[in-house]
Amino acid sequence: MEELKLIQKFKKLRQDKSVYIGPGDDAAVIKSGKKYLLFCGDMFIEDVHFTIKKCKFEDIGYRAVARTLSDVAAMAGRPKYIGVSLALPRKYSKKALSILKGIREISEKFKLSIVGGDMSRARKIFLDVWCLGYAEKNRITTRSGAKDADGIFTSGKLGCSLNGKVRFRPKIKEAQFLTRNFKINSMIDISDGLVLDLYRILSESKKQAVLFKDHIPLNPGAKIENALYDGEDYELLFTSPLKNRGTLEKKGFFYIGFIKNSRKAKVSIRNTEGKTLPLKIEGYFCL
Amino acid sequence: MEELKLIQKFKKLRQDKSVYIGPGDDAAVIKSGKKYLLFCGDMFIEDVHFTIKKCKFEDIGYRAVARTLSDVAAMAGRPKYIGVSLALPRKYSKKALSILKGIREISEKFKLSIVGGDMSRARKIFLDVWCLGYAEKNRITTRSGAKDADGIFTSGKLGCSLNGKVRFRPKIKEAQFLTRNFKINSMIDISDGLVLDLYRILSESKKQAVLFKDHIPLNPGAKIENALYDGEDYELLFTSPLKNRGTLEKKGFFYIGFIKNSRKAKVSIRNTEGKTLPLKIEGYFCL
């Protein structure tokens, strides 16, 4: 996994003391005056993350922004400004306005200002959206805070998320609600699959997790394998003290397992007969 | 020119009142508390902006950052943090570390913190570097401030800049020096060629320009056409009251022409016989 190696390298880089959270989480957090700036970006590439056959151009623009906002949500941040890099093959240059339309729609929905952009030619459609926003220091949720005996929760159903719906609503409000009302010890958005993204929390928190097979909520048509390993769900995955389970479930969140102390990060699944088996750490991950 | 159309669209988008300078300049400027944040990005794409045959992987990383810093320089800003999106074909995945090395080298040189990144697979090497920095309100230089009778200046020689040297030094210090010591009415970095980037100043400032053919400083091997139309120079192009000419020339800047009032943006060139001819507005520009 070259990306993991590279992230390790990035994490070792010297950072200015104003850098509150550096590389390796869903977004960077920078102290600026009395404020905490949030800064993150996400690429959306033709034939890697989407195909032209299955997507309208407007939806491509929409989703490119939504993916970046999902990273902001994972930190419980408030997105404010976006910069958009768009590269297109010449044959699609007239489609740029359609892509922009989708970008505008989601920007209006989330009251974002589109403050900058770069355009170029390329062989494949390439979008990279960088977001600038704010966070409140004591409500920032990282990957590294999971505690022993925390419950593990998701904000929605999992698996087969890309079937037929390209647009999704990044869970900005849910993250705000959660951090306003509960102790949320760790959080990530599920972009590369439940198991892999949970593993990222466990690695950073130095913990292990046990999932309950019959608790994992499935999208229509999805099997348990889809929920565990499909990418592109864009639901929140978070841990919170187990005592919050009842209230969180009433509010529509799903309790799917619990955190345990461990020397080594790992994910297990407990089936209905109470048998616990280790899960292979893999997911939708492209390098 | 689809990009110009699109930029017009972008410029019409509603912006939050905290947006001090929106799309269409070299960088966006955002008011955040008492500070003015600078935010900009630039793509660097294989077989569009560079080829593998002519570039070392380290130099690719270096240049991708340098290009973005050049936009910061054009606004007389101070770069502080960068986020890097990197997409690579699988065959190059082991080269990611070399690219990172180049990114680190220039980051150390300019005391930047690399705070975030995104990685993906792609058919061609794709880099997109977004920078966050600061500016001082009364020293921000835009494209729109050129005044009648301003002199036009560059920070260096032009043309054939890509011949043999992939690395270049973004003119952050020069821009700081200029805005500290002179009234700089407008500024841009020359990325797509002198004529096209000057035209951008003229369009925003509603002015015209006359260049002196024998004043335009040429790189070794470059002809006047290269200086006018080659991309990738990354020198500063700025206008300042003509009275500053002597001092600026002593400091190594080149006086190349002057600004005139005009109803329509245009660029002319005056040859040694005093004959003035209009120049075609074109440049290195990919869409």
User: What DSSP line would sit under chain A, residue for residue?
Assistant: -HHHHHHHHHHHS---TTEEE-TTSSSEEEEETTEEEEEEEEEEEBTTTB-TTT--HHHHHHHHHHHHHHHHHHTT-EEEEEEEEEEE-GGGGGGHHHHHHHHHHHHHHTT-EEEEEEEEE-SS-EEEEEEEEEE-GGG---SS---TTEEEEESS-BS-TTSS-------HHHHHHHHHHS---EEEE-SS-HHHHHHHHHHHHTEEEEEEGGGS-B-TT--HHHHHH-S----EEEEEEGGGHHHHHHTT-EEEEEEEE-SS--EEEE-TTS-EEE-----S---
Q: How confident is the model at residue A286 (pLDDT cuts 50, 70, 90)?
A: very low
Domains of chain A: 21-137 (3.30.1330.10), 142-278 (3.90.650.10)
pLDDT at position A249 over 80: yes
- The first and second tokens of residue A58, run together, are 């407007």
What value of ipTM does the predicted structure carry?
A: 0.94
The alpha carbon of residue A35 is apart from the nearest alpha carbon of chain B, in Å, by 8
pLDDT at position B247 over 70: yes
pLDDT at position B43 over 90: yes
The alpha carbon of residue B80 is apart from the nearest alpha carbon of chain A, in Å, by 9
B121–A6: do the CB atoms touch at under 8 Å?
no
**CA angle, residues A254, A256, A262, in degrees to nearest 5:** 140
Residues in B touching A37 (Cβ below 8 Å): 32, 37, 132
pLDDT at position B286 over 60: no
Residues A39-47, mean pLDDT to the nearest whole number: 96
pTM: 0.95
Residues in B touching A40 (Cβ below 8 Å): 83, 116
- pLDDT at position B161 is 87
**For chain B, what is the mean pLDDT?**
94
pLDDT at position A1 over 60: no
CB pairs under 8 A between A and B: 217
pLDDT at position B63 over 70: yes
Identify the residue among A37, A120, A134, A142 best suited for mutation to test binding to B, counting B beta carbons within 10 A and taking the highest.
A120
Residue of chain A whose alpha carbon sits nearest to that of B94 = A2
Residues in B touching A111 (Cβ below 8 Å): 16
Q: How confident is the model at residue B4 (pLDDT cuts 50, 70, 90)?
A: low
- pLDDT at position A287 is 39
B48–A122: do the CB atoms touch at under 8 Å?
yes
Q: How confident is the model at residue A21 (pLDDT cuts 50, 70, 90)?
A: very high
